[in-house]
Amino acid sequence: MVMLKNMRKIFILVFLAGFLFSPLSVAQAKSLKVIATIKPLYSLVANVMGDVGQLDLMVSGGLNPHIYRLKPSNIRQIHNSDVVFYIDPNLEVFLKRIFKRKYNNFKAVPLAQAKGMHLIPYRTSKIWYQDAENPKETPKGSPQDLHIWLDPANARRMVRVIEETLSELDPANSLTYIRNAQKTIARLYRMEEDIREQLRPFRKKPMIVYHDAFQYFEKAFGLKSVGAIILKSDQTPSVKHIRALKRLARTKNVTCVLGAPGANPRIATVVMSNTDAGFSVVDPLGLYLDKSPDLYFDMMHEMAQSIVDCQDDDNLSEDLNALKNPPKKHNP
């Protein structure tokens, strides 16, 4: 009788083992098709996914997501995916039309809307937004600055949301996603501390930025900018605004003017004239970096180094030339 019971237990164990390792069970570990819209986000998703599934970047090369136009191939790519990670339809405006309705064949995840994300409103004083020649034109409702990835704390929150989403869609690989997310978060903490130490000598030294897309980085590392050259992406700054910036540079003892990749350096040189301010280029989108899991970390370190270089007058001519002729990178 005892032997019969033991044989029955062995049979059940053999049956369960055969089921768990059968082709049907293995098939349940699906290979996710994932899309990330911009390079910094691609990098964070790639770190969580590791070698699991297929990850594609939507806005590739040196293209700017602020002016990107959705192509038919992108629409097909979206509908063939399992999940699309993006920041917000007010950043990737090209997604507004397609995401007006909900779809059952893929999941869209707007990370700026995730619970616990730290959001900062755009600065709306005239030196940041309002053109002095159009004093009645002001933004409505203090819109949020959506460059959220420039705050390492937000990047860590994004990694957690990415892991939770992938684990929900692909539970068979959830342990891999969890482990990779933990490693990525630990790396983000180390990066943040390294950059904080690197920039400590430059805390509270006044800077002027090309446009107001930098404040998450500023607040994370105790930096201080006092104005922006470009008030709107589609608007050349007025002569009156440039004069105001020149006065500001002198009265605030501005030490650094930060340009943007591909932007005309002429305005920056005018703002810097008759001051001791240095010049450098920051790339908060990693436009000219090759896509990879390391891109986010390389981008953040390069931004920090650009601020350090900005204090060095020997780098001025080199950085002005880089602004006129940004490096050409080819993505695989």
pLDDT in tens, 36-92: 999 999 999 999 999 999 999 999 877 878 788 888 998 999 999 999 999 999 999
Instruction: Name the average pLDDT for the chain.
Output: 83
Over 90: is that where the pLDDT of 147 sits? Answer: yes
Q: Are residues 280 and 186 in the same domain?
A: no
| 278 burial type by CB count under 10 A (0-12 exposed, 13-18 middle, 19+ buried) | buried
Residue 167 near residue 214 (C-beta atoms within 8 A): no
Query: CA-CA distances (angstroms) from residue 173 to 50, 53, 180, 200?
Result: 11, 10, 11, 41
Task: Answer yes or no: do 39 and 169 share one domain.
Answer: yes
Q: Which two tokens stand for residue 238?
A: 């007025």
Which amino acid appears at position 36 of this protein? A
Please tell me whether residues 161 and 271 are part of one structural domain. Answer: no
Q: What's the pLDDT score for residue 37?
A: 96
| Residue at 329 is within a domain | no
Structure tokens at 330: 């080819």
Same domain, 183 and 273: no
- Taking the complete model, does pTM exceed 0.75, yes or no? yes
Close Cβ partners of 264 (under 8 Å, ≥ 6 residues apart) = 323, 324
The pLDDT score that the predictor gives to residue 25 is: 40
**pLDDT at position 150 over 80:** yes
Q: What is the DSSP secondary-structure string of 165-215?
A: HHHHH-GGGHHHHHHHHHHHHHHHHHHHHHHHHHHGGGTT-EEEESSS--H
The position carrying tokens 């950059």 is: 195
Domain endpoint, select from 173, 191, 209? 191
Higher pLDDT pick, 213 / 177? 177
Asked whether residue 96 is assigned to any structural domain, the reply reads yes
- Both tokens of 329, joined, read 């990178």
Nearest to 304 by CA among 194, 179, 146: 194
**pLDDT for residue 327:** 55
Residues 313 and 171 in one domain: no
pLDDT band at 229 (very low <50, low <70, confident <90, very high): confident
3-class SS at 59?
coil
Q: Is 18 inside any structural domain?
A: no
pLDDT of residue 16: 43
How many degrees, rounded to 5, is the angle at CA 206 between CA 200 and CA 211? 110
- Are residues 166 and 235 located together in one domain of the fold? no
**Residue 313 — very low, low, confident or very high, per pLDDT cuts 50/70/90?**
low
Are residue 186 and residue 209 in the same domain, yes or no?
Answer: no
Write the pLDDT tens digit of every residue in 12-22. Answer: 444 444 444 44
Which one has a higher pLDDT value, 94 or 44? 44
- How far is residue 183's CA from residue 188's CA, in Å, rounded to a whole number? 9
Instruction: Give the pLDDT confidence score for residue 28 in this predicted structure.
Output: 55
Q: What is the pLDDT of residues 97-119, one digit of tens each?
A: 888 777 778 899 999 999 999 99
Least-confidence region, from 186-195, 237-246, 294-303? 237-246
Exposure string (b/e) for 45-75, b if CB count within 10 Å is 16 or more? bbbbbbebbebbbbbeebeebeebebeeebe
**CA 66/CA 210 separation, integer angstroms:** 15
The count of domains in the chain is: 2
Q: Are residues 224 and 161 in the same domain?
A: no
Q: Which of 161-165, 243-247, 306-310 has the highest mean pLDDT?
A: 161-165
Within a domain: residue 196? Answer: no
Q: b/e map of 1-35 (b: 16 or more CB within 10 Å)? A: eeeeeeeeeeeeeeeeeeeeeeeeeeeeeeebbbb
- Does some domain include residue 141? no
**How high is the pLDDT of residue 133?**
44
When pLDDT is cut at 50, 70 and 90, the band that residue 141 belongs to is: low
Whole-number pLDDT of residue 18? 47
Looking up residue 169, the CATH number of its domain turns out to be 3.40.50.1980
**Does residue 33 surpass a pLDDT of 80?**
yes
Residue 316 has pLDDT above 80, yes or no: no
CA distances from 39 to 71, 87, 248 (A): 18, 11, 34
My answer on whether 175 and 206 are in the same domain is no
pLDDT above 90 for 186: yes
**Residue 290 CA neighbour count, 13 Å, CB half:** 5
Q: Is residue 330 part of a domain?
A: no
- Read off the pLDDT band of 319 (50, 70, 90): very low
- Within a domain: 139: no
Domain limits at 165?
30-114+148-191
Mark whether 252 and 174 lie in a shared domain.
no
Residue 176 located in a structural domain: yes
Same domain, yes or no: 167 and 240 = no
Do 208 and 79 lie in one domain? The reply is no
pLDDT tens per residue across span 248-285: 899 999 999 998 888 878 888 888 888 889 999 999 99
Measured between alpha carbons, how far is 23 from 11 in angstroms, rounded to an integer? 20
Q: Quick check: 135 pLDDT over 50?
A: no
